[in-house]
Amino acid sequence: MPHSLPLEGVLSTSEADLVWAAQDFGRVVHHRPLAVLHAASRHDVAAVQRFAQTHDLTVVPRAQGHSTHGQAQAPGGIVLNLNHLDTVHHVSPDRMVVDAGATWSKVVTAALAHGATPPVLTDYLELSVGGTLSVGGLGGASHRRGAQTDNVLELDVITPDGTLRTCSPALHPDLFDAVRAGYGRHGVIVQAALRLVPAPTHARTYRLRYRHLPDLLAAQRRLVTDQRFDYLEGQAKLEDDGTWTHLLEAAHFFTPPAQPDDTRLLAGLPTAEPEITDTTYWDFANRLADDVALLRRIGPWQHPHPWNNLLLPDNAVEEVVTTALSEVDREGLGDSGLVLLYPIPRDRLRTPQLHVPSTPIIFLLAVLRTAPPDSPATLGRMLEHNQRTQDLAITSGGTIYLRSVDGTGGGNGTPVADRAGDR
């Protein structure tokens, strides 16, 4: 693509870059762009936005590429690689200013050096700040603190006409509301001021296993209401005999000599033998790192991931989860598959673009599967199942989290291959 742009970074049309930009963690959708800009500064971001607007091209920002349905791809347009814009500019006890390409692991490391932490972390920390602020960013602390998008103080955004604007609840609030959970389609976040809170040094994790789903839901409803834990999640686990069990996962953060009061924390929950583990706060926040390293080494990390993330209303959660999981066996989950299920009070989620069900408590259901790399039929079956579950969830008042940019969850039947016209 010939150009005369004054760029500090590299505008590339190399085969390797186009293939890279047409791939994401999901490995389900593959759209090749016309070019990739490896941005080296915010001036690059503005220059390419202006160029694209003049030539009627789409620009789509991309950071870690952990999308699962092509959200960071630009069919026939320009993919803007933001990974090099990852400087931590400033840290104080209650605020950090960071470039949007920084990963949350870099953010947490920098914050902990000042005895602070972001209040809400995703389960996995190698996602970018811009990437999660463009979808919402939910985790075990969301039941108390909302989404990551609810904990951002100010954003520097380059709008599609190439203008740099600072926005916040007080300054250009419309832009602030459009870019948070806006999937990069209303501007590129180049810098974020993030809220920080005092960090604990340790986390005590409690795991309670229930045979029946209603017991897990009863425990979660109680805990989401009295908020006695700092972190609240849960899982459905597929056992070797093909049945499902249900795992409550909750954590209390502390700094010795203070110690958690186990009796108080577990009082009134449906009976189950608790498994209790103490770790440092950093090890707790970064708990997926070892599993991910293993999955990378043995292969599944590089396989297709037809993930399905739904937000369900409290009054339909049991029916949707039961129906969805009744069709999932070991093959349908994949070797490294995982099902997350946890509650969030609706009033904690205040990001306008994050569409959530209307009940006071909502549940995140995430069916996170891995398909074999060499079986399009299996992948197709998983995607069809996702579509059926999404249809049921929506009919029941649910919404899709991490939707495709066309508004669906990407579960519509067949993988989207490279289109000849995109080449």
> What is the nearest approach in angstroms of ligand FAD to the Cβ of residue 93?
25
CB of 324 to ligand FAD, least distance (A): 19
Residue whose entry in the numeric block shows the structure tokens 């990390």: 301
Asked whether 295 and 378 are in contact (CB, 8 A), the reply is: no
3-class SS at 382?
Answer: helix
Work out the end-to-end distance of the chain between its first and last CA atoms, rounded to an integer number of angstroms.
13
Of the pair 60, 216, the CB lying nearest ligand FAD is at 60
The maximal CA–CA distance of the chain, rounded, in angstroms, is 68
For the CB of residue 39, give the shortest distance to ligand FAD in the complex, in Å: 10
Nearer to ligand FAD, 192 or 272 (CB): 192
Question: What are the tokens at 386?
Answer: 């996702």
**Least distance in Å: CB of 100 to ligand FAD?**
4
Would you tell me how many other CB atoms lie within 10 Å of the CB of residue 64? Answer: 20
Rounded Cα–Cα distance for residues 423 and 409 (Å)? 25
Residue number, 327 or 406, with CB nearest to ligand FAD? 406
Closest to 155 measured CA to CA, from 195, 120, 107: 195
- Nearest distance from residue 155's CB to ligand FAD, in Å? 9
Q: Tell the smallest beta-carbon distance from residue 366 to ligand FAD (Å).
A: 8
Judged on CB neighbours under 10 Å (0-12, 13-18, 19+), 20 is: middle
CB-nearer residue toward ligand FAD: 260 or 357 = 357
Query: For the chain, what percentages of helix, strand and coil (3-state, to nearest 5) are there?
Result: 30, 25, 45
Contact of 134 with 189, CB cutoff 8 Å: yes
Element spanning 374, H or E = none
Residues in contact with ligand FAD by CB under 6 A are 24-25, 60-67, 71-72, 82, 100, 122-124, 127-128, 130-132, 134-139, 183-184, 188-189, 402
Q: Which is nearer to ligand FAD, 123 or 335 (CB)?
A: 123
DSSP state of 417: P
DSSP collapsed to 3 states, 305-361 = CCCEEEEEEHHHHHHHHHHHHHCCCHHHHCCCCEEEEEEEEHHHCCCCCCCCCCCCE
State which residue, 214 or 373, has the beta carbon closest to ligand FAD: 373
Query: Closer CB to ligand FAD, residue 121 or residue 238?
Result: 121
Nearest approach, Cβ of 149 to ligand FAD (angstroms)?
10
